[in-house]
Every structure is written in structure tokens, then in C-alpha cells.
Amino acid sequence: MKSGANSDFTHGFLRRLRRLLAVVLGLALVAGASYLLAPQWVLRLDTWRRALAADLTSESVQVGDTRWVYYEGGTGPTIVLVHGFGVSKSVWLEIAPLLTPRFHLVIPDLPGWGESTRLAGADYGITAQADRLAGFVDALKLDNFMLVGHSMGGAVAGVYAAAHPHTLAGLVLMDSFGLSFKENAFAKGVLDRDTDPFVFDDRAGYDRVMALSFHQPPKTPGRFKDALVAQNLANRDFINRVFERLRKPSQYRALDSRLGELTMPVLAIWGAQDRIIDPSAIDTLRQGLVHAPSIDTTLIQNCGHTPELEQPAATARVIADFTLRH
């Protein structure tokens, strides 16, 4: 009897093992097929996974004619994170899990980008977006919060801060657009040519943009590149229209004339190897912030234009320290 019982147990275990292996193999085949046939869905699933891991939920609020979609999560002092040109709220998912244990994060898609409303013919320049951000802040009843803006989002955050200084505990400008800086190859090319450097039609074009944005570009699987190319193509008209707007002096110098109106603590974070907005923009900040009670600056080494992606741990640490001090 004992020998028969052992034999039944062995056969049962092997059956369960075979079933488990079949399930694992099936999942692997589904994953492989999804990567080959529908890489965009794999990217969306990964974005959902990373938001969940960061303790973020997706929320929305209607403000006038705009539906804002945003991530929210974490507990503690509030930090609002504003993304830059050509991306969405998901760009912050690398640093979000490092911040949500101690801070309450609000991470919106700016109107026109990501999942937030895009209106045909509307102005999506810096001042218009700053005005919309004010409506979003009012709708969520945010007060005494830390505002962080990256690149184009830095200009939006800075213009908002100049108009609504009483709402902020502090302002963080990260590789911020809207400031004068020593002309680099990127700036010269943008002014001399009519082409938008952030649009791409194929994998090579994607690699070119990554080489521009990162000090050491991440390795991206080929089919994911294809999905991102398709996304860029689908949004091409809007990307070109906004970029053309941002080429105007009123946009790329939007913060220069407003620096004296910033009366809150200000932190500048820059990638030391930023090829898009030269770190010399920090000098413009230092000279113009005549009424800010404190000015902190951090250059992150081995980092290009996107510290939140290329050096997330260092970036999160600097933001956290600044927020806790103010």
C-alpha cells in the first residue's frame, strides 16, 4: 500500500508539474507573440505595472474644456511633477517609487499630451499651459506644494510659479526650457533649420533622438522601437505644431523676464552632459533670481537631458532633500 501511495503521489506531482510547465510555456508564447505582433500593448502593460509598483493610481478631473488625466499616490508633503515635450506622465515612473514612501505625488499629463484632452487649434504654448495648470491646481485644491518641471514642463512650472507664488513651498527646474543659455549645436540647428529634431520615422531616427536626449542611451528592443515610432507618427502633426510654437523667442525665453517674480526657494537640477539645454542656463537663473530666498543647484554627472530617466536615484534624492528642507 505504501509503495502504491508513493507512486500515486509521484504521478500526481508530475502531472501538476507538467501543467505548470504548460502554463509557463503558454505565457511565454503569449508574451513572445505580443512582443512581435502587438508591442504597444506590452509597453502599456509595463507602464501599468510600474505605476502599480510605485503606489500610483490613474485619476482624472475635468477643468473647463480639458480633461486632465494624472497619477496620484503616496503620503506626505505634496510634489507635483510636470513632464516635458513629446512625452507624458509615465516619464516619472522611474523616480516615483523612490518618492511615494515619503511624499504625496501628483503627476499629470499636460493638456494635449498623453491621455489629457487635446483640442484642435488650441494654444499649447508655455503661458497657455501655465494658465491651464493653475486651473488643475485649483480643481485639486493643492496648496503649499513643491512644483517640479522638466524641460518644457520646467518653463510651464516657472511661469505658473511667477503668477501664483503663494501656492508653492518651492520650485524645482530640471534641465528647464525657457532660459537663455550658451548656444550649443542643438540650439543652433533648431534656429537654422525648419525640421523638428524630435520626430522620427524609423528605428534609426529613434536612436538619433535617444542619443540627443541621453548621455548613455538605454537599450530598447527593436519591436518596442517600432511601437514608439508608430506613436510618434500618430502624433506628428501635434508635435510639429507645438515645436514650431516653442521656437518663438517668447517661448524659449519665457522665464528670463519672470525670474524676478519667483519668491519661493528654487532648485535647479541639470544633467552635466545635457546636449539640448546647456547647463549654462543655471547662470541665467542665478543672475535673475533676485527675490528667491534660496537658490540651490545640482549638476548630475554622467547624465544628459533626462535625469529622471538616466539617473533616477540621484534625481529623487535631490528632490526629496530639497522638499524636506522647505
pLDDT at 164 over 90: yes
Look at residue 195 in the predicted model and tell me its pLDDT. 75
**276-297 mean pLDDT:** 97
Strands lying side by side in the sheet with 78-82: 57-63, 66-73, 104-108, 78-82, 145-150, 168-174, 266-271, 295-300
Look at residue 206 in the predicted model and tell me its pLDDT. 97
Q: Which residues of 77-104 are buried (b: 16+ CB within 10 A; e: fewer)?
A: bbbbbbbbbbbbbbbbbbbbbbbbeebb
- pTM, two decimal places: 0.89
Using the 8-state DSSP alphabet, how is residue 261 labeled?
Answer: G
pLDDT tens per residue across span 237-268: 999 999 999 999 999 999 999 999 999 999 99
More confident: 205 or 7: 205
Calculate what percentage of the chain has a pLDDT beyond 90. 84
At 25, give phi and psi (nearest 5°). -65, -40
**131-139 mean pLDDT:** 98
pLDDT confidence band for 326 (50 / 70 / 90): very high
Cell of 237: 502633426
Look at residue 55 in the predicted model and tell me its pLDDT. 96
Instruction: State how far the Cα of 226 lies from the Cα of 229, in Å rounded to an integer.
Output: 5
Using the 8-state DSSP alphabet, how is residue 87 labeled?
Answer: -
pLDDT confidence band for 134 (50 / 70 / 90): very high
pLDDT confidence band for 196 (50 / 70 / 90): confident
Cβ burial of 175 (10 Å; 0-12, 13-18, 19+) is buried
Look at residue 108 in the predicted model and tell me its pLDDT. 98
285-208-246 Cα angle (round to 5): 40
At 157, give phi and psi (nearest 5°). -65, -40
Cell of 143: 496648496
Look at residue 29 in the predicted model and tell me its pLDDT. 41
pLDDT at 82 over 50: yes
pLDDT confidence band for 27 (50 / 70 / 90): very low
pLDDT at 9 over 80: no
pLDDT at 32 over 80: no
Which one, of 251, 317, 261, lies nearest residue 288 by Cα?
261
Instruction: State how far the Cα of 92 lies from the Cα of 94, in Å rounded to an integer.
Output: 6
More confident: 28 or 45: 45
Instruction: State how far the Cα of 308 lies from the Cα of 271, in Å rounded to an integer.
Output: 10
At 253, give phi and psi (nearest 5°). -120, 25
pLDDT confidence band for 30 (50 / 70 / 90): very low
Distances, alpha carbon 107 to alpha carbons 47, 73, 136, 173, 178, in Å: 14, 9, 11, 15, 21
Look at residue 189 in the predicted model and tell me its pLDDT. 85
Q: Where are the alpha helices (DSSP H) in 73-125?
A: 96-99
Cβ atoms within 10 Å of 272's Cβ, excluding its own: 15
Contact predicate 159/127, CB 8 Å: yes
